[in-house]
Structure formats: C-alpha cells, structure tokens
Structure 1
Amino acid sequence: MNTSPENRRSPSPGEQNAEISPKTTPSAQACGERWAQESQKRHEWIAVAAYFKAEKRGFAPNHDWDDWFEAELDYVKRQVEDYLIILEEDGETTLIGLQRLAYSIGVEHPENIHSKTDLIQAIQCACQLLPCFRIGVEDLCSQFNDCQWRSECKKMIAVWKRYG
C-alpha cells in the first residue's frame, strides 16, 4: 500500500461520521453524504466565482477575502432567487422548503426554526438585508422596493387582514 502524502486523502465528512458512530443509520449516513456533496459544490462555486472576480480586477493583491465574501453573497442571493422562481411556479411556501433553502445558504441549524417568518428573516440576514419580513400588519416594508420577498410578504399580510 502506497502511503506517500500525494496518495493519501482525507476521509470525507460522511466517512468520518461513520468512523465515529458505527451505529449510524443508513438514512443519517445518506444525509451526511448529501450535506458533504452540497457543501463541496457550494465551496467550488464560490471559489470559481472569487477567481473570476480577482481576474476581473487584474489579480490585484490583498483582495482575496473581499472576492471570496462577495462570491459567497452572490451564491446566497442566487440560491434565494432560484428558490423564489420555483416558489412562483409551485405556489406555496413550505416550512421544509424554507429550511432547505436556509440550510443551503449557511443559516445555522434551520431545522430548529419552526416559523416561516423567522426562517425568511434568517435568510434575509444571510443575504445581508434588513430582516424586515412581516414586521408590520399595517404596511409593507418600504425600505426595499426590489425586495425578493415582497410578493410573499404581501400574501401573508393579506391573510392577516382577511382573518385578523
């Protein structure tokens, strides 16, 4: 067996979990593997986007982190945009759908958030927006005319007014 550093590889998070917990259920292991794949895909997307941002600037030094953070924010906004496009076709916001979106953009422990409003506000924070979703019954938030969540907010406020 060749154990030179070039041929060694780190175990994936799924493999590490399997080593730590031998009684891991197949579904839990599959979730861990899916998380690892999604995390790797996210990391690769951000790395490529950050590279192109640096290239656009002519690879000027000392902007690595700026490029990375800007690419991360682009990724988050793109995920939200894609979710809202799908939502437009499907018609209804679901708690599970919001939890999945929140998870995919890096919101910590979205499975512990059981309110659509709280999830959307956490997603808004991840997008570096004011978490204004459903902040008032009387008016819509007037701070963001181009807010991605505006139509969902309108729907929920309409329900409040109808039944409130």
Structure 2
Amino acid sequence: MNTSPENRRLPLPIEPNDEISPKATPSAQACGERWAEESQKRHEWIAVAAYFKAEKRGFVPNHDWEDWFEAELDYAKRQVQDYLILLEEDGEVTLVGLQRLAFSIGVEHPDQIHSKTDLIQAIQCACQLLPCFRIDAEDPCSQFNDCQWRAECKKMIADWKRYG
C-alpha cells in the first residue's frame, strides 16, 4: 500500500445542515469509533500538510512544531471555508452543523455548547481569529471587514431586530 503524502486523500467537508434524529442517535461505541475515525482523518491531513510545508522549506531542522501548528490552522480554516460555501447554497446555520464543524477542527466538547453564537466564537478562536461574532448588535463587524462570518452575523442581527 502506497502511503506517500501525494496519495493521501483530504477529508470531506462538513455538511452545514446535517441533523441527527433522536431515533438515529448512534450508540456510545459508534460515537467513539466515529470520533476516532474523524481524529485520524484530521491527523493524517495535518501530517501531510506539515510534511509539504517542511519540504517547501527544504527540511530545515527545528521547525517541526511550527509546520504542524501552521498545518492545523490551515485545516481549521479550510473546514470553515468549506462549511460557509455549503451554507451559501443550503441556507440556515444549524446548531448540529456548527457542533460538527467545531468538532472537526478540534474544539473541545462542542456538543456541550448549545448556543450558535458561542460555537461560532469557539470556531473563530480555533482559527486564531478574534471571536468577534455578534459582539455589537448596532454596529456588526465594523472593525473586521474580512471576517468569514460577516454575512451570518448580519443575518442574525437582522433577525434580532425583526423579531426581538
């Protein structure tokens, strides 16, 4: 079996509107297996990306951790970007979709976060961004024009003003 970095597959993007019905909830063992599989895919993707970063640098020693952390950040940003692209086509942000995204990028215990705002802020932190989501209902994102979450932030604020 050829396991060179060039032949490894990248993980599939997270579906933004994936929902789990109560009847379809897997057993604890299945959840553990799913977690292990997701973690392995994430680890492999990051390892391959770190390898290519090192190769690009000419394998200069003592930069292993730097390459690894940059690859982790690249992975998280890619997952968020893929999620938001799918969201543009599929519609509304769901709690389960955000929890799955957060889980895929390494946010600890996203299943215990039950607020979309808190999840998005945790995702922003994992991507080493200022957790600016929904910090000001009157002036959203005035300082952060390049924020990936700007459109979603504006939608939520519009809903608050409309219904709240």
Q: How many residues align?
A: 140
Unaligned runs of 5+ in 2: 1-25
Q: Partner residue of 1:66?
A: 66
Give me the whole-angstrom Cα distance separating, in 1, the residues matched to 2:107 and 2:131.
13
1:35-56 CA-partner distances (Å, limit 9, x unpaired): 1111001000000000000000
Give the alignment's Cα RMSD to 1 decimal.
1.4
1:75-113 CA-partner distances (Å, limit 9, x unpaired): 000111111111111100000110111111111111111
Give how far 1:163 is off: 2.6
Q: Partner residue of 2:13?
A: none
Match of 1:70, SS state, is: helix
1:84 aligns to 2:75 (yes or no): no
Q: Which runs of 4+ in 1 moved over 4 A?
A: none
Q: Partner residue of 1:93?
A: 93
Match of 1:144, SS state, is: coil
Q: Partner residue of 1:3?
A: none
Q: Percent identity?
A: 88
Give me the whole-angstrom Cα distance separating, in 2, the residues matched to 1:108 and 1:126.
10
Give me the whole-angstrom Cα distance separating, in 2, the residues matched to 1:143 and 1:78.
23
Q: Partner residue of 1:111?
A: 111
1:127 aligns to 2:120 (yes or no): no
Give me the whole-angstrom Cα distance separating, in 2, the residues matched to 1:137 and 1:150.
12
Give me the whole-angstrom Cα distance separating, in 1, the residues matched to 2:61 and 2:80.
31
Give me the whole-angstrom Cα distance separating, in 2, the residues matched to 1:41 and 1:114.
26
Give me the whole-angstrom Cα distance separating, in 1, the residues matched to 2:124 and 2:143.
13
Give how far 1:148 is off: 0.8
Give how far 1:160 is off: 1.8
